[in-house]
Copies of this chain bind each other. A is one copy, B any other.
Amino acid sequence: MEMLNERTERVLYSVVRSYISTNEPVGSRFITKAYSFNLSPATIRNIMADLEEFGFLAQPHTSAGRVPTDRGYRFYVDYISKRREAEDGLLESFIARLEAAREDLGGLLEMAARTLSERSKYLGLAAPMKSGKTTLNRMELFSYRGNYVAVMLLTDEGLIKHKLIRMDQALSPRTLRRISEYLNQEFSGYTIDEIRFKLIREMSREKALCDILISKAVRICREALTFPAGDIYISGFSDFIGLPDFSDRIGQIAGAIEDKHFMLKLLEQVGSESEDAPSVVIGSENPVREMRDLSMVVSAFKRGGKTAGTVGVIGPTRMDYPKAMAMVHGIAKIITEALAR
């Protein structure tokens, strides 16, 4: 970046800013007027030519204005990150909703995704941490309609899951209670992944002991843990799809978004890098092909010092980064606080 002097930076900044708001290639003349440089268009042209040479700008065709490249956006994001202005006031509505929201993490995250998308017109995302990493608090079993067992699974992180399991025969309340005691004693306090691992060992031991109760317990537990991985809240589909930026290839993008599994992986991947500030991935920086002309802004929220999940937005590369970053960061902070109380 050291090859850019003060003035050049200002020009680049102006071009990106202008393109973000108008979505039109920006010309030298326009820059001089709109941003009151005391320079002639010709000078700006020279500067822009330099910027193009360095790969910050590009021309759709010879006689069009300039358009930022991904590298240009990257400069812009880093530039504004330095002097981050407090963009508050966007978040009260979320806080207000938070009070009304259901008390569990799911409700909270759904709300977060919705707020994010409503305020940004981009795609709002929120997901709890990978369920395997969550810590089991307790497991409750009860029989249901004869030979079914309903399992409710509570984690320390506030995640709740339920599952219905069919057994060969009905289990008496007493048996059920003993199974439940056994399971909680054995597995409470471990993460789901750890439990999965322990189960495997348990299974061989069980064979040796030939204990019919433990055998049942293990089976129930194993089934209860086979929920589909994808817990993710996505909101703002329609506004996002309606954006003019990708009026072609809508099908492709819609397909990618509908694949929750895929989205979750993406979110985790990007979010894991985020420490205090939100992490930003721009267009071609994105590891995944389908997302090559989209940008993401993602931030993690925590509980008890550990990452408990991620929130973020996805938008076109020409998205309003300052606003998106402020929102994502703000909401992550609010969730962290909400979880701490």
Contact = CB atoms under 8 A, between A and B. Distances in A.
Given A103-B166, A239-B255, 5 more contacts: A138-B142, A138-B144, A140-B142, A150-B160, A238-B251
7 contacts: A103-B164, A103-B165, A104-B163, A104-B164, A138-B144, A140-B142, A150-B152
Interface of A: 102-104, 137-138, 140, 142, 144-145, 148, 150, 152, 154, 156, 158, 160, 162-166, 237-239, 241-242, 250-251, 254-255, 257-258
Contacts of A160: 150, 162, 164
Copies of this protein, total: 2
B152 A140 contact: yes
B152 A158 contact: no
A41 to B, nearest CB: 37
A150 to B, nearest CB: 6
Contacts of A164: 102-104, 158, 160
Given A102-B164, A160-B150, A250 B242 contact: yes
A232 to B, nearest CB: 15
A85 to B, nearest CB: 31
Contacts of A150: 152, 154, 160
Given A138-B142, A148-B103, A250 B251 contact: no
B242 A258 contact: no
A104 B165 CA distance: 8
A-B complex: 10 closest residue pairs judged by Cβ atoms: A242-B251, A238-B254, A238-B255, A104-B164, A103-B164, A241-B254, A238-B258, A152-B152, A237-B258, A103-B166
